[in-house]
Amino acid sequence: MKIRPLTSLAALLLSTMAMTAVAQKAGEPAKADGPTTKTTSPEAKFESAPYASTGEAMHPTSNAKAPPMTEAEFDKARQIYFERCAGCHGVLRKGATGKALTPDVTVPKGTEYLKVFIAYGSPAGMPNWLTSGDFDEATVDLMARYIQHDPPTPPEFSLEDMEKSRKEYVPLAQRPTKKMNKYNIENIFSVTLRDAGEIALIDGDTKEIINIVKTGYAVHISRMGAKGRYLYVIGRDARLNLIDLWMEKPDNVAEIKVGLEARSVETSKFKGWEDKIAIAGTYWPPQFVLMDGDTLKPRKVVSTRGMTVDNEYHPEPRVAAIVSSHQKPEFLVNAKETGKIWMVDYTDLVNLKAKQLDAAKFLHDGGFDASGRYFLTAANSSNKIAVVDTKESKMAALIDVGKIPHPGRGANFKHPKYGPVWATSGLGDESIAIIGTDPKGHKGNAWKVVQSLKGQGGGSLFIKTHPKSNNLWVDTTLNPDAKISQSVAVFDIRDLSKAPQIIDIAACANLKDDGAKRVVQPEYNQKGDEVWFSVWSAKDKQSAIVVVDDKTRTCKAVIDDKRIVTPTGKFNVYNTQHDVY
C-alpha cells in the first residue's frame, strides 16, 4: 500500500487508527498498558528496575506516566535519537530548531499522536521518517515512547579526555614538504557520506573518486585551512579528522574526539596566523576547544553555559556555526540557546580574551557578506538574522525574516535594484529573504529585507549562488512532499520578479530503487559553471551526486558509485577556503 502524507485532521485520525490496527495485528502488546512486570529481588526494588514477564530488564524511570520500555529498547532509542533528532531538538530535548520534547510536553500528547507526527512530518521542517523509508513502524513506535521518558544526561568531556583520544597517523615531521600528487586541489569536493561515517574526496574535474576517508559519523561540515592544504572534517559524534591534501593519496594524518556531539570546526585566517589555531565547537558538552592547527593537540577548553539574552540560565548552549574573522585574529562562535555570539581572541590561549554579543536565541548557521566584514547568521527559532560588524566588534542589526531561517552560509549577489545583498531560505515556510548588505554604497537598503521571494515550500536547508553565476538555487530537502523534496527551485538573479524554474534533480539521477531521493545542498565548483547536488536516500538504498550545468540548467553528469552512501553536504576546496558563496 502506498502511504501518502496526511493533509487533514480526519486523515490524521484515520492514520493513527490504521497504525494501531497494524500493530495489534502483528501481535504487539498494547503500548498503553505495556508488558507485565515483576520484581525479582530487594536490590531490584531498590534500583527501580523491574523485569518484564519475558525476563527483560525494564528501563527505570521517575516519570510514572511514561509508557514502559525495556532497557534494550531505551538504549536503542537513545542511539537513534542522537543520530537523527538531537541536532534539532537538543541532547536534553529542550528544543531549538525543533520543538521541545521534554516529558511535560510529550506525555500529554500521548504515544499515538507522537507516532503520527514522527511518521508523516510537517511542512515546517519535521522530516517524514516513516514515509521517507528512514524508519519502519516499529521504530516510529519506539521513538514515540522514548521521548516521553526523561532524557538521559551524558557525561562531560575534558581536555584530558580529548588528549587521550588524539591520534597522529602521520607525524608532522613525516608529512610531505610539497604537493605530492597531480590533482587540481582547488576543485576537489569533500562529500559527506552520512551513515557510512566517511567522506568521499571527489576530483571536480574528472568526477572520479580520489579516496574514501574514514571519519566520524555524519560529518556536518568540511572546512579548508587558510593555506589550502589541510581539510578539517567534524562528525556529529564529535570526531575531528585532519586530512592532508598534499599526500600522494590524500588521507587522514590526525584525529581527535572533542566531545560526544558536535557540528563545527574552523581555523585561524588572519594574516600571520593562517592555520596556526583550530577551533571545534560541541553540542555536548556545550563548549569549544582551541587546538594546534597542524596536530589537533588541544590547548584550551571554554564552556558556553550561562545566561540567555533574556536573562535565564541555560545548561546546554550548544556551539553551532564558527567562522574566522578576516578583520582581526579572532573566531566568532555561535552559542545556540543563549543567543550570544562569542568573539574569541586567539593570540593568547593561556590568558584567553573573549567578548560576548547579545543577538537572539537559537543561533545556528551563517556566513559573511561579499566584503568579508559582516557576519550574517540565523537565529532560527526567533525568526531573525543577526548581523555582526567584525571590524567594529559590535552588533550591526537584528532582522526579522521568515519562519526558521536556515541559510547554510547564505548567498551573496548583486541585486539589479538594491545592490549587494545576502539571501537565506528557511525550514518553516516558503519565503526567501533578500537582505541589503552595503551600508556605505546603499545605505537606505542596508540590513533590511529588500525583497522576499516565494520558493517551493518549507523544509529548505541551503541556498546558493556564485559570483560568476546568474542563478540562485534553493533546495527543499525536508519537505514531506516527495515531489518538492526531490527537486530544486532556481531563480534568475537578473530578474527576480520571474517565477523560479523547478528542476527535478532526482529524475536526473535515474536511480532504480524506491529511496527517498531527497535533494540537498547546491555547491558550485571552482569555476562557478557547475552546481553539484546530493540525491540522498536511506543507507540501504541507492544515492548519487548530480552535476548540473549552471548556464543551461541541464543535468551534466551523475556520480552513482556504490560507495556514495547517504551523501549530504559537499564542500568545494576553493570556495570553502575563500568564503565564496
| Sole residue written with cell 572546512 | 223
Closest-CA residue to 65 (of 34, 96, 44): 34
Per-residue DSSP letters for 350-398?
Answer: TT-EEEEEE--SSEEEEEE-TTSSEEEEEEGGGTEEEEEETTTTEEEEE
CA gyration radius for the chain? 24
Sheet holding 411-415, edge to edge: 411-415, 419-424, 431-436, 449-454
C-alpha cell at 261: 556531539
The catalytic residue positions are 85, 88-89, 126, 364, 406
pLDDT value of residue 4:
33
| Sole residue written with cell 552512501 | 565
What is the number of other CB atoms lying within 10 angstroms of the CB of residue 434?
25
Backbone phi, psi, residue 189, to 5°: -110, 135
pLDDT value of residue 43:
29
C-alpha cell at 403: 519562519
Q: Confirm if 222 and 569 have CB atoms less than 8 A apart.
A: yes
Rounded CA gap, 93 and 110, in Å?
17
Helices (H) and strands (E) counted in the chain, each on its own, are 11, 37
| 197 backbone φψ class: left, alpha, beta (φ>0; ψ -120 to 50) | left
pLDDT value of residue 58:
85
pLDDT value of residue 21:
35
Q: Confirm if 337 and 319 have CB atoms less than 8 A apart.
A: no
Instruction: Burial-class residue 403 by CB neighbours within 10 Å (0-12, 13-18, 19+).
Output: middle
pLDDT value of residue 55:
66
List, in order, residues 6 or more apart from 473 with CB less than 8 Å away. 463, 464, 465, 488, 489, 490, 522, 531
User: 159-190: buried (b, 16+ CB within 10 Å) or exposed (e) per residue?
Assistant: eebbeebbebeeeeeebeeeeeeebebbbbbb
Q: Is 19 helix (H, G, I), strand (E, B) or coil?
A: helix
pLDDT value of residue 37:
35
| pTM, to two decimals | 0.82
| Sole residue written with cell 541556498 | 463
Q: Which uninterrupted H or E stretch holds 43?
A: helix 42-47
Q: Give the pLDDT of the chain (581 residues) as one tens digit per residue.
A: 333 333 333 333 333 333 333 333 333 333 333 333 333 332 232 233 333 445 678 888 777 889 999 999 999 998 888 788 887 888 888 887 788 999 999 999 999 999 988 998 887 778 888 888 889 999 999 999 999 999 888 899 999 999 999 999 999 999 999 999 999 999 999 999 999 999 999 999 999 999 999 999 999 999 999 999 999 999 999 999 999 999 999 999 999 999 999 999 999 999 999 999 999 999 999 999 999 999 999 999 999 999 999 999 999 999 999 999 999 999 999 999 999 999 999 999 999 999 999 999 999 999 999 999 999 999 998 999 999 999 999 999 999 999 999 999 999 999 999 999 999 999 999 999 999 999 999 999 999 999 999 999 999 999 999 999 999 999 999 999 999 999 999 999 999 999 999 999 999 999 988 899 999 999 999 999 999 999 999 999 999 999 999 999 999 999 999 999 999 999 999 999 999 99
pLDDT value of residue 373:
98
Per-residue DSSP letters for 542-563?
Answer: --EEEEEETTTTEEEEEE--TT
Closest-CA residue to 216 (of 244, 248, 252): 252
Enumerate the β-bridge partners of residue 345. Answer: 330, 353
Rounded CA gap, 46 and 451, in Å?
63
pLDDT value of residue 54:
56
Q: What angle do CA 547, 551, 556 make, to 5 degrees?
A: 25
pLDDT value of residue 133:
81
pLDDT value of residue 127:
84
C-alpha cell at 356: 560576548
Rounded CA gap, 97 and 369, in Å?
23
What is the number of other CB atoms lying within 10 angstroms of the CB of residue 40?
11
